[in-house]
Structure 1
Amino acid sequence: MAMGPLPSSGRGRGRAPMAEINVTPLVDVMLVLLIIFMITAPLLMTGVPVNLPDSRAKALEQPKKPVQIAIDAQGRVYVDDAAVDDAQLAARLEQIAQQSAGADPTQIFLRADRAIDYGKVMQVMGELNRAGLNKVALVSTPAAE
């Protein structure tokens, strides 16, 4: 006698291959990923919103000449190419603020040497703010491409 599978007399008694795909696990995984992205997306946007100008922006038309304030590498402050001591800086800035007390505030261009201490720049900006001169632009040179 031979030992082997017995021939079946009828068709369809065995398991037929399943022709449908079960999408429930796929939907579950996609919903979990959606929840993770919804939670983490707001956390990725940190920092202060700043509207930065384009690097190829043209110079703005100025109705009147802006006040130039420069800080050199030694920490000396110049207002329109005239050296000003730290003690005289507040009085000079208040004088500029009084001259521009009209509707159009004076534009200030602040230029500082790259080797200067950040604290010195913040000290000058604090004096500008205290004098009421809040229209300050930090001047830099364009980056080489």
Structure 2
Amino acid sequence: MGFGSMNSGKQQAPMSEINVVPLVDVMLVLLIIFIITAPLLTHSVKIDLPKAESTPNFTQPEHVELAIRADGDFFWNGEPVQFDQLSERFASAVLQDPKTELHIRADKTTQYEHVARAMSVAANAGMARIGFITDPTLAQQ
């Protein structure tokens, strides 16, 4: 321990040792607390739960595929359709199921104007889910 000497003739140097007694006391108190609480954490009630087998129910909402060619031709699920007919078709699709999704397949060289007009008509009809279908194999080339 670093006690000072009784000799007052020498110049006293500061103590360079750390007093570890309070640290040991705190450590021992924590050790006792953990020893007491550890068995309480592992105590559990044994219950024989019933076994059930089920598979998750994934229901995909209906979707409409709207293909747009580079020349501005529209195809509703593969069927040719005029731009003027899109609003009533979107409205009827939303009436059947409000969660209907619109999947737009546009040609690579299609002008954005055609795509934007179709998206605007779909949004005005109440379609909230609009997505674009792309070909990931073309992105790697």
Tell me the TM-score range normalised by the shorter chain. 0.5 to 0.7
Once the 2 structures are TM-superposed, how far is the Cα of residue 62 of structure 1 from its aligned partner? 5.9
| One-letter identity of the residue aligned with 2:92 | Q
What is the identity percentage for the equivalent residue pairs of Structure 1 and Structure 2?
26
Instruction: Give the match for residue 88 of structure 1.
Output: 85
Instruction: Give the match for residue 71 of structure 2.
Output: 74
Instruction: Give the match for residue 118 of structure 1.
Output: 112
Once the 2 structures are TM-superposed, how far is the Cα of residue 71 of structure 1 from its aligned partner? 0.2
Q: Which runs of 4+ in 1 moved over 4 A?
A: none
| One-letter identity of the residue aligned with 2:65 | Q
Alignment partner of 1:140 out of 126, 134, 137: 134
Once the 2 structures are TM-superposed, how far is the Cα of residue 66 of structure 1 from its aligned partner? 1.9
Structure 1 unmatched ranges of 5 or more? 1-60
Once the 2 structures are TM-superposed, how far is the Cα of residue 114 of structure 1 from its aligned partner? 1.1
The number of residue pairs the alignment matches comes to 82
Q: Normalising by the residue count of structure 2, what TM-score does the alignment of the two structures yield?
A: 0.54
Name the structure where helix makes up a greater proportion of residues: 2
1:56-67 aligned at under 5 Å gives the runs: 63-67=60-64
Q: CA RMSD in A?
A: 1.6
Once the 2 structures are TM-superposed, how far is the Cα of residue 141 of structure 1 from its aligned partner? 1.1
| One-letter identity of the residue aligned with 1:124 | A
Structure with higher Rg: it is: 2
Contact 2:65 2:76 in 1 (8 A): yes
Once the 2 structures are TM-superposed, how far is the Cα of residue 65 of structure 1 from its aligned partner? 4.1
Structure 2 unmatched ranges of 5 or more? 1-57
| One-letter identity of the residue aligned with 2:83 | D
